[in-house]
Amino acid sequence: MRPHATKCNTRLFIGFLLLGGLFHYFDPTENLLLNSFLFCGRFTIFAGLILFWIQSIRTRLLPTRIRAYMIAAGLMMLCLLIVQVFNNRIVGDAAGALTVNRFSKYAYWIPQTMTPAFFLMACILICRYGQDGKRWDERLLLIPPALLSLIVLTNDFHHLVYRPRADYPELMIVTGKYSQGTVFYLLYAWIILTVAIGLILLFREAGRRPAKGIVLLTGATLTWLAMLVLNLLVFDWLHVHQPYSTQEINIFGMLGVFEICIRNHLIPSNENHIGFFEQLGRPVMITDRDLSPVYRTNKAVKASEEELRASLKQPVYPQENIRLSGMEIRAGYAFWTEDESELNRENRRLESANELLSEENDLIRAENELKEKKAGLDAQNMVYDRIAAELYPRQKRIEDLLESAQPDTEEFRRALGECCVLNAWCKRKSNLLLLDETALPKRNRELFLALQESARFLKCCGVKAAAVGEETTDFPLADIHDLYDSFEAIIEGWLPSMRQMAVSLQEDGIRLAVITERELPLPETILPVEKQISEGTVFLTVRRRKGGEAA
């Protein structure tokens, strides 16, 4: 969901919530038709808001038990509204329907006790998320509300919740005609205790995040408590009709707390993944832990279950030139395919260019001695000199690594991985240096192919890396060189600590998302680098030059 759409939905939600409160405030009128219209409108608005919220979290959240508990809590809230309508508008205090009246009020306690239980279960999982180690099963918390609900439903046998007064032969749950039993207060104690523990857990978890989250959570909680105080003390004391019932305040207060948790990333979400994959333009599939598809693009990923599992360890090729890759994500796996037919053609062309370059290196030395005989090749000699000068430091580094590393050692394996990364840069850099600005198409893939080649060989060093997103740019050749050189300087400087990396093209440069073992200083680069850190991920933005200066 895009940020603009999220703000619009929030405004509409609050607007309808206020409209429902107005309907409730003006509900008790002498006009029965108007009274019925206001009541039906209020119920429709509140029920619609709950259903809208449930549908929204089905889209925004990953398929985890947290989402299941939140949906269950929303359904219990909806049941609470329905039972409230049945009690107040259909049964009421009719003396001729004492049994129906009594059991409808018994049923009223089921969603009231189950909703806080689901709230607390979700809060426990929010605090546990991402932590290792086996913990006790939070589903055991369903046992107390289930037992309490059973006691309420069997109240006719023991009168532990509602007791008839001595001067009324049959129990009537009407003001002045019954008294509360011990379990009645136990029910309220359960509700208050579970909600309070859940809020304490959320505050503890929000305190570990940026300050904005705990400020918003505090505001939502205080608003919830303030509305309850207004209802229970001010409105009753002034004998003013309440715009919201206590149950409605609890429902939307709990929804508000959940929403704050979602928007501050306390709950694992997949927000905006649909738009991201649509722009990516390639087959993508998200599955749960059992490889059952949860989301897939219009272009399907065609592979068997064995191929999917194999792609989690290393890329596989279910079809010729079709590369299937996979990686573990929160609550499941992500798979995508890439058509490498054009890349293979480019690799063959690059191999031919490398062979030509190897042959021409010998010719360059001979041509330097015979300049007077090869005057027409002066311009070409300048190109090859530039290539040799550009590639020499990395080639020298490769030579030093191979000479210093001892075979059959872990250091030798790491040295080979680094040599692969350096060699990928040498190949792509030489290819770029062979290009001419006048021959470069307006929209070209040269920079993306270079980034993709380097990302591919980073896996030789144990780094999960990928080049994603838009593949073509209209950058001039000089900017492509500067951006690629800056990218290479960053990955070489951070290679010992880098564990995951994704790079994508931007309108004015490139953007890297990097996960490292420890924070490292930025290496020296040709272009300036902007650095941001969010939730353990380092985001680096390298902008190209415009008018001779960095963008």
Residues 234, 365 within the same domain: no
Domain boundary residue among 235, 263, 291?
A: 263
pLDDT of residue 121: 92
pLDDT (average), residues 442-455: 86
Give the H or E element holding residue 318: strand 316-319
Cα–Cα–Cα angle for 136, 142, 146, rounded to 5 degrees: 150
pLDDT in tens, 365-392: 777 666 666 554 566 667 667 777 777 7
20 contacts: CB under 8 Å, gap ≥ 6: 41, 42, 45, 46, 49, 244
Residue 548 pLDDT > 60? no
* Residue 79 Cα distances to 17, 47, 72, 73, 150, angstroms: 18, 9, 11, 10, 17
**CATH at 167:** 1.20.1070
102 versus 314: which is more confidently predicted?
314
Query: How far is Cα 316 from Cα 521, in angstroms, rounded to an integer?
Result: 36
pLDDT of residue 143: 93
Residue 399 pLDDT > 70? yes
| Cross-strand bridge partners of residue 530 | 541
340 versus 166: which is more confidently predicted?
340
Amino acid at 523: P
Distance of CA 306 to the CA centre of its chain: 27
Q: Is residue 418 exposed (0-12), middle (13-18) or buried (19+ Cβ within 10 Å)?
A: buried
Residue 531 pLDDT > 60? yes
Nearest to 80 by CA among 110, 116, 48: 110
pLDDT in tens, 133-144: 556 788 899 999
For every residue of 518-550, DSSP letters joined together read: S--PPPP-SS-EEEEEETTEEEEEEEPEETTEE
Rg, C-alpha atoms of the chain: 33
Amino acid at 180: Q
94 versus 521: which is more confidently predicted?
521
Residues 183, 278 within the same domain: no
Mean pLDDT (the chain, rounded): 80
Residue 103 pLDDT > 70? yes
Domain boundary residue among 288, 315, 337?
A: 337
Residues 96, 156 within the same domain: yes
Residues 257, 311 within the same domain: no
* Structure tokens belonging to residue 201: 């857990």
pLDDT bucket at 415, cuts 50 / 70 / 90: confident
Tell whether 236 is covered by a domain. yes
Tell whether 323 is covered by a domain. yes
Nearest to 183 by CA among 152, 215, 139, 208: 152
| Cross-strand bridge partners of residue 549 | 546
Residue 176 pLDDT > 70? no
Question: How many helices (H) and strands (E) would you count in the chain?
Answer: 18, 14
Pairing mode, if any, of strands 332-339 and 464-468? unpaired
Amino acid at 35: N
Residues making up the chain, counted from first to last: 551
pLDDT in tens, 29-69: 667 777 778 778 888 898 899 999 998 888 778 778 888 99
pLDDT (average), residues 273-302: 74
pLDDT bucket at 198, cuts 50 / 70 / 90: very high
pLDDT bucket at 414, cuts 50 / 70 / 90: confident
Residue 241 pLDDT > 80? no
* Structure tokens belonging to residue 237: 């004391």
pLDDT bucket at 291, cuts 50 / 70 / 90: confident
Residues 383, 459 within the same domain: no
pTM over 0.85: no
Domain boundary residue among 263, 289, 314?
A: 263
Residues 210, 184 within the same domain: yes
Indicate if the alpha-carbon torsion angle 156, 159, 163, 165 is positive or negative. positive
Tell whether 439 is covered by a domain. no
pLDDT of residue 116: 93
Nearest to 500 by CA among 366, 265, 329: 329
Of the chain, the percentage scoring pLDDT greater than 90 comes to: 13
**CATH at 485:** 3.30.565.10
Residue 551 pLDDT > 70? no
Q: Which domain holds residue 332?
A: 273-337
Residues 136, 227 within the same domain: yes
pLDDT of residue 236: 61
SS3 194: helix
Residues 105, 235 within the same domain: yes
Tell whether 385 is covered by a domain. yes
Number of domains forming the structure of the chain: 4
pLDDT bucket at 279, cuts 50 / 70 / 90: low
Residues 172, 294 within the same domain: no
Residues 403, 544 within the same domain: no
Which of 20-34, 239-253, 339-353, 532-546 comes out lowest in average pLDDT? 20-34
Residues 220, 95 within the same domain: yes
Tell whether 268 is covered by a domain. no
Tell whether 550 is covered by a domain. yes
Query: How far is Cα 102 from Cα 159, in angstroms, rounded to an integer?
Result: 12
Tell whether 350 is covered by a domain. yes
pLDDT of residue 197: 93
Of the chain, the percentage scoring pLDDT greater than 70 comes to: 85
Number of Cα atoms under 13 Å in the Cβ half of residue 83: 21
Residue 304 pLDDT > 90? no
pLDDT of residue 547: 45
Residues 216, 278 within the same domain: no
Residue 243 is given by DSSP the state S
pLDDT of residue 166: 65
Whether 217 and 260 have beta carbons less than 8 Å apart is answered as yes
SS3 180: strand
pLDDT bucket at 272, cuts 50 / 70 / 90: low
pLDDT bucket at 330, cuts 50 / 70 / 90: low
pLDDT (average), residues 469-483: 88
